[in-house]
Amino acid sequence: MGSKVIEIYKKLLSSLGSQGWWPADLEYHRRNNSDYRFEIIVGAILTQNTAWNNVIPAIENLKRENLLTVQGIRDVNLEYLEELIRSTGYYHQKALRLKTFVSYLLDKYNGSLDELFSRDLYELREELLEVKGVGPETADSVLLYAGDKPVFVVDTYTKRLCQRFPLPVEKLVYDEIQCFFQNNLECFFRGEELIEVYKEYHALIVYLGKTWCKRKPLCSSCPIREDCSYSKPVS
């Protein structure tokens, strides 16, 4: 089955191209001497329960106000922060979550992302999951995209792919799906290449889910329809 996981990846990559995910404005951070990894962390929190297009205006607002730093989020008035990120929905909750994460980072690591990401992957993952408002998908997005840690991110689209294709995941729960993909991909890739594959694969699955494998799927034009059992008519 590992070969099937690789086959899906290669077909999606060939059809859709490299996604270059997670997006961050490197030029902005160069000009402002700030850390692009913090933008990724902020984005991972803001994209909870919303589409990325709703996050983009919030990120732009934070950049405009020079608040896309640990100190900026720490010092900004909570009500003003809520207004800046209103487009993401649940903005009261998300503003608190940003403040909480920054407090955690400052209290435990003096605000240093280098110190944060120097930790062992699995120890750090358990620690992140203890931060209020950080669930498995957010924690793994932070670890993979900001920390360059080898961990596969699972979301609703990944679960849908496993169910519809189908892929032999015993239970459609986060940890089971994550282990399935990691165990298969680790047989083919190592080191930095594995990390890049994790990033690309997750982004490609998101593209697939948003474009074709929706709640009401558009199977006729899906790039992996020939291999997917869900798209085949029942005889």
One domain, residues 121 and 169 = no
CA–CA dist 23, 219 (Å, integer): 28
One domain, residues 111 and 53 = yes
Alpha helices, DSSP H only, in 47-155? Answer: 52-64, 70-75, 78-84, 91-109, 113-117, 121-128, 136-141
Kind and range of the H or E run holding 176: helix 174-185
3-state secondary structure of 123: helix
Residue 26 lies in a domain: no
Residue 50 lies in a domain: yes
Residue 208 lies in a domain: yes
Residue 71 lies in a domain: yes
Q: Which of 100, 118, 146 is the last residue of a domain?
A: 146
One domain, residues 119 and 200 = no
CA–CA dist 33, 221 (Å, integer): 44
One domain, residues 57 and 124 = yes
Number of domains in the chain: 2
Residue 140 lies in a domain: yes
One domain, residues 123 and 203 = no
Kind and range of the H or E run holding 191: helix 191-211
One domain, residues 38 and 135 = yes
One domain, residues 196 and 97 = no
Q: List per-residue pLDDT tens for the chain, 235 residues long.
A: 568 999 999 999 999 999 999 999 999 999 999 999 999 999 999 999 999 999 999 999 999 999 999 999 999 999 999 999 999 999 999 999 999 999 999 999 999 999 999 999 999 999 999 999 999 999 999 999 999 999 999 999 999 999 999 999 988 899 999 999 999 999 999 999 999 999 999 999 999 999 999 999 999 999 999 999 998 754 4
One domain, residues 52 and 111 = yes
Residue 218 lies in a domain: yes
Q: Which of 119, 146, 173 is the last residue of a domain?
A: 146
One domain, residues 125 and 185 = no
CA–CA dist 199, 89 (Å, integer): 26
Q: Which of 95, 113, 146 is the last residue of a domain?
A: 146
- Give the list of residues 6+ apart from residue 212 with CB closer than 8 angstroms, or none: 218, 219, 221, 222, 223
pLDDT at 39: 98
pLDDT at 170: 83
Closest alpha carbon to 49 in 19, 99, 90: 90
Residue 27 lies in a domain: no
One domain, residues 15 and 69 = no
Kind and range of the H or E run holding 44: helix 36-46
One domain, residues 47 and 115 = yes
Burial 154-171 (b: 16+ CB within 10 A, else e): bbebbbbbbeebebebee
One domain, residues 156 and 70 = no
Domain that holds residue 171: 2-20+151-230
pTM score, whole prediction? 0.95
